[in-house]
Amino acid sequence: MATLHQAFSLFALIFFLTSGTGADQSTKTTQAIIGGSSRIGAIVDTSSRIGKEVVVAMEVAKEGCYGFGNQTFLQIKDSQKDAIDAALEAKELIYTLQVQAMIGPHTWEEVSLVAEIAREKQVPILSFADTAPEWAAERWPYLLQASPDKRVQMKAIAAIVQSWNWHEVTAIYEDTDSSARGVIPHLHDALREVNSEREPGIYAVQAYDIMRTIAIALNKNGSKRGEKELLENILDTDFHGLSGKVKFKNQKVASAEIFQIVNVIGMSYNELGYWSHGAGFSENIDGNKSKSMIDLGQVHWPGGPRDDPNGWTTLRIGVPSSSGYKEYVNVQNDGPSGKNFSGFTIEVFKETIKSIPFFPSYDFYDFVGEDYNELVKQIHLKTNHLCCACTFCPQHQKYDAVVGDVEIVASRYKYAEFTSPYTETGLVLIVPARSSSKAWSFIKPFTTTMWVLISVFTVYNGFVVWWIERKGCDELQGSIPNQIGIMLWLSFNTLLSLNAPKLHSNLSRMSGVVWLFVSLIIIQTYTANLTSMLTVQRLEPTVPSVEELLNSNAKVGYCTGSYVTEYLPSVLKFKLENLKKYGSEEEYFNGFKDKEISAAFIATPYAKLFLGRYCNRFIQIGETYKIGGFGFAFPRGSPLLASVNEALLNITENGTVQALEKTWITPKTCPEIQSESSSLGPHGFLVLFYITGGTTTAAFVIYVCRTNLSRDRKIWRTFSAVPKRWCSLRTPFTTRVASAEIPTHTFPEAPVPPASI
């Protein structure tokens, strides 16, 4: 009886919802069109709310379309949320009960098995599954997707959300796999007992339309009971049902392109207009289109407010009140009215959210405490509804965001997420400065390498000149020590004096002239650089490096509440007992003055203020450690973070942040400290050294070769005799013979032999 009552109430509601749409007329038509026996099977999960609604809707549709007198059989089987059970039930419906068409199931796992079983008998299956693979239509031509694609409808919902600039919405839906689903039927019965009714789900409406689709197809089929003809009739279906237009395309119910927007107001409703896919909103189907739903008219929100809800309550934003740098964060008592919050970080935040129209309202709250990690942790505590044990963070100190001189470090990401940094990132080392000693200033114009090269080339040129001139000058003779002294005197006399000694050899003159030219350039450069060094004030650090601090076991200062407490011991290896915290510029200065610390690690934004205030007393040394930077903190996964980041970049690019820096942060400009790079190296003089070295070497080689040739006179005679001998060989031999005279006494007279007797 309860089921019949439930079915009747649901039918009455559906009838009310379809009044004026022609559904009642079609129902009267289909009541009398079917005769004989028809068998329809259905597989649903009867334990779920959706399954219960579908069963009721199909029973209502069967009675409304056929009447109680016709022999129409609706066989409903329970899938029990299991694909194997659904397949077994489908086999019974097809082979035993011999149904002509099947409805359901809801999941694709169940549908795929059922379709495979129905493939041989070619029984049409109208599935509730929202999605199906593209290849399903080819493999199972009798499988039809009766549930339209929801993507277009979701686009309509997204357009509504976009119209109100909502960046976070909560979707309330039923998790069919949750343990709470069993409570829903009891809730339905309780509402019926007090004459209340709840709107049927979309699946119940679709089930009603599916039953009507089958009824129309069976009516067209008439006496023909073939599955192929029935499938063709189903695919030819075209009518307006409760769920919208029912028309198949590619074996799927075509998605709706136009949706009506209804504003539910208590027990009544107001039709606002329509949303068309690709066109937008309009008051009527053929009216002018708009991209925003706001143009459709006044929307009545739950609770009655006329202002558009933004979905947020007033945000609680924490601000550190213990910051020692009032230029960045300054929290002051403003009499009975409360606190006054100012400073660079506060103004940057205000300018950032001005360009975010949907940003919720907010209030600043001062955080009483020095530990910035604990301040950021308050965001995590509120998000997770936890209670902290510390004495300075009671319930009212949990925040939705944090604004202030809060540095971005990895350890704080456990509690919150940060925006992009809006200040310079980095940690620098500040040490006291002292005036550099000028006792050795005369060697600073050149680097050590430059001095070595000058000395080497000077001695080398002096040696070559001495070697060439020593044979022709008696003054360059003498003992070995005397000759070494003369050689060095020649070297530096050429470099430092224009009145160099008289040279006798052209080779030594050639070498000396080139070296004199180079020496003039070197002397002038040295003089100019030395003058610059002596006239410009130059500071040098009292501590040269971090390594010196570690080796000397010196004490080091750092900022109160800073991440540096963990960074210095773990990364830079400072001992905890050598670290001392300070909260302001004055405390740092007094710590240096009282010799409490030898150096201080300060974040780059603070370091600018400190050096600007105590100009020429302290200097920055070493590298900048690329960590930190100020940022705004929000809860992890906050939907506001992306918009705040975008707005922060915009005000940075358009110069707003730079203008605020000039207004709130105006450090004095200290004269730049000259570093060792002001000493000149050999790079700019290499060509000159190559020229003078090459010239001197060439002169030396020529002299050596010429000297060796002059020592060997035989070699010179040989070389000089060769041309003469060559010329003599060119005279004709016959000419020499003809002109020769033979002396008469060359041959002696022969003796006369005695006469013979």
Contact call for residues 267 and 277 (beta carbons, < 8 A): no
Query: What pTM does this model have?
Result: 0.50
> Is the pLDDT assigned to residue 371 strictly greater than 60?
yes
| Residue 367 CB contacts under 8 Å (≥ 6 apart), including other chains | 318, 319, 320, 321, 322, 375, 378, 397, 399, 402
Angstrom distances, CA of residue 726 to CA of 211, 719, 723, 731: 132, 11, 5, 10
> Among 239, 186, 229, which Cα is nearest to 208's?
239
Per-residue pLDDT tens digits for 586-638? 999 999 999 999 999 998 888 888 888 887 788 888 888 888 889 999 999 88
Angle between helices 656-664 and 344-354 (to 10 degrees): 160
Q: In what order do the strands lie in the sheet with 401-402?
A: 362-367, 315-320, 401-402, 633-634, 417-418
> Among 461, 458, 459, which Cα is nearest to 696's?
461
Q: 3-state DSSP call for residue 608?
A: helix
Percent of the chain past pLDDT 90, that is, above it, reads 14
The whole-number pLDDT of residue 676 equals: 45
Determine the residue type at 339.
K
Q: How far apart are CA 408 and CA 16, in angstroms?
A: 60
The whole-number pLDDT of residue 72 equals: 66
Given CA atoms 726, 730, 733, 738 in this order, what sign does their dihedral have? negative
Q: How far apart are CA 578 and CA 576, in angstroms?
A: 5
Which tops the pLDDT comparison, 287 or 472?
Answer: 287
DSSP-derived letter for residue 294 is: G
| Residue 468 CB contacts under 8 Å (≥ 6 apart), including other chains | 505, 507, 508, 511, 699, 700, 703
Per-residue pLDDT averaged across 287-314, rounded? 76
Tokens linked to 728: 């003599």
Per-residue pLDDT averaged across 144-159, rounded? 77
Mean pLDDT lowest among 533-537, 615-619, 652-656, 687-691: 533-537
Mean pLDDT estimate for the chain: 76
> Is the pLDDT assigned to residue 393 strictly greater than 50?
no
| Helices and strands of the chain, counted as H and E runs | 24, 24
**Residue that has been written with the tokens 């392109």 in this structure:** 257
Mean pLDDT lowest among 1-15, 99-113, 134-148, 283-297: 1-15
Per-residue pLDDT tens digits for 1-52? 333 333 333 333 233 233 333 334 333 333 333 344 678 899 998 888 888 8
> Among 633, 132, 688, which Cα is nearest to 367's?
633
b/e per residue 519-529 (b: at least 16 CB within 10 A): beebeebbeeb
Per-residue pLDDT averaged across 143-157, rounded? 77
Q: How far apart are CA 521 and CA 537, in angstroms?
A: 26
| Confidence band, pLDDT 50/70/90 cuts, at residue 494 | low
**Residue that has been written with the tokens 């006798």 in this structure:** 504
The whole-number pLDDT of residue 12 equals: 32
Q: How far apart are CA 73 and CA 89, in angstroms?
A: 16
> Is the pLDDT assigned to residue 735 strictly greater than 80?
no
Mean pLDDT lowest among 33-42, 315-324, 531-540, 571-580: 33-42
Q: How far apart are CA 309 and CA 561, in angstroms?
A: 39
Per-residue pLDDT tens digits for 178-207? 333 433 443 344 434 433 455 666 778 888
| Confidence band, pLDDT 50/70/90 cuts, at residue 66 | very low
Neighbours of 413 (CB within 10 A): 13
> Among 456, 453, 450, which Cα is nearest to 529's?
450
